[in-house]
Structure 1
Amino acid sequence: MNISFKSFTYDSPLYEESITLRNRILIEAVGRHENCRDFDFPEKDIYISAFDGDTLIGTAIITPLDEDTVQMRQMAVDEVYQGQGVGRAIANEFERVVLKNGYSKVILHAREVAVVFYKALGYETHGEFFYEIEIAHVEMRKDLTRRH
C-alpha cells in the first residue's frame, strides 16, 4: 500500500467523499443514523484525506480553536484498512500540516476504544470521560513543540 495525502477545504469535491466515509465509520458503525456535522464555520477547517491510489481510505479534520491550538476531529479509517498503520499515518500528516500552518497544540475527543492508540502517538488524557453522541470520550492533548 502506498498512502498519499490531500489537504482540502469544504468547497472541494473531496469534501462530500470524506463525509460519506466519516458517516459510515463514525456514525453508522455505532448504530446511529444522523450525518456527521461540521462546526459552524467549516470554511476555517482544513480537511486531510489519505488515499491508496484513487481510493479514499481515511480522513481527519483540523479545526482551529485559537492562534496556537487546533482540534483533531472525526478521524476515520476505512474498515478494510484498519490495523495497517493508516491511522498513524493520518495522525503524522495531520501534525505536519498543523505545524506548517503555524499551530503548536492539538486537542481531540477520543472515543474510549481509541485512547490507547492516541497515547501511543504521544497524546495525554485531560479530565474525565464524558459523552458525545452517547459514546464515552475523553479529551486528549499534545504539544507538538515538546519531544515525546
Structure 2
Amino acid sequence: MSIRTIVAATDESIQDALKVRVEVFVEEQQISRELEFDGLDEECIHFVSYDGEQPIAAGRLRLIESTGKVQRICVLSSYRGKKIGNEIMYLIHKTAKEKGLDQLVLHAQESAIPFYEKLGYKISSEIFFEAGIPHAEMKLKLN
C-alpha cells in the first residue's frame, strides 16, 4: 500500500475527491446528492488520498474569516482503520496554519467524535441532526 495525500489542485484530483464522497456519503450512508453537493465546493480547498492511482479518501476545508470549516472527511470502507483519516486531517491542519487560520470547526458524525477527540478537537455543542445523522460541533485552536 503506497498511500499519498495531496491538496487537490487540478480538476482531475478534485473529481477524484468528489468520487470518494459519492461512494461514502451518497451510496453508503444514503445522503441525498443534493445535500452532499451543497454548492460550496467551488470555494473550498479539497484534499484527496490515493492508494497508487485509486482515490480512497477525501475532505475539504472552507475558509470563513480566521476560521476553517473542516467538511466531508471520508475514507472508503475497505481503507478504514488504517490511519488514512489522520493523514487527511494532518494535511488540512498544515494547510490551515499556512493560511493563518486561528481555529478549525467541524460537524462530526457521532460515531466519528472519538477520532476527532484524538486529534485534539473539543465538543462545542449538543448533539444535533444533519442529513438524518447525529452530529456534534467540534473545535480545535490552532495556535
Same fold (TM over 0.5): yes
User: Structure 2 regions of 5+ residues with no counterpart?
Assistant: none
Summarize deviations over 1:80-137 as a string: whole Å, max 9, x none: 1100110111111110111112213100000000001100110000010111111111
Is the 2:106–2:137 Cα contact (8 Å) retained in structure 1?
Answer: yes
The alignment covers a number of residue pairs equal to 142
- CA deviations 1:27-61 (Å, max 9, x no partner) are 32123442521444x33210011112211111110
Paired amino acid for 1:8: A
Which amino acid in structure 1 is aligned with residue 26 of structure 2? I
In the alignment, which residue of structure 2 is the partner of 1:28? 27
Distance 1:100 1:137 in 2: 28
**Cα distance in 2 for residues equivalent to 1:43 and 1:102:** 20
Structure 1 range deviating more: 122-131 or 95-104: 95-104
Q: CA RMSD in A?
A: 1.6
Q: Mind listing any 5+ residue stretches in structure 1 that lack a counterpart?
A: none
CA drift at 1:19: 1.4
Q: 1:125 to 1:39 in 2, by over 3 A?
A: farther
CA distance in 2, matches of 1:32, 1:124: 26
Match of 2:98 in 1: 100
Percent identity of equivalent pairs: 25
Q: Look up the SS of the partner of 1:128 in the other structure.
A: coil
TM-score by length of 1: 0.88
Aligned to 1:2: 2
Corresponding residue for residue 144 of structure 1: 142
Q: In the aligned structure 2, how far is the partner of 1:81 from the partner of 1:24? A: 13
Please name the residue that 1:86 is paired with: 84
Deviates more, 1:29-38 or 1:92-101: 29-38
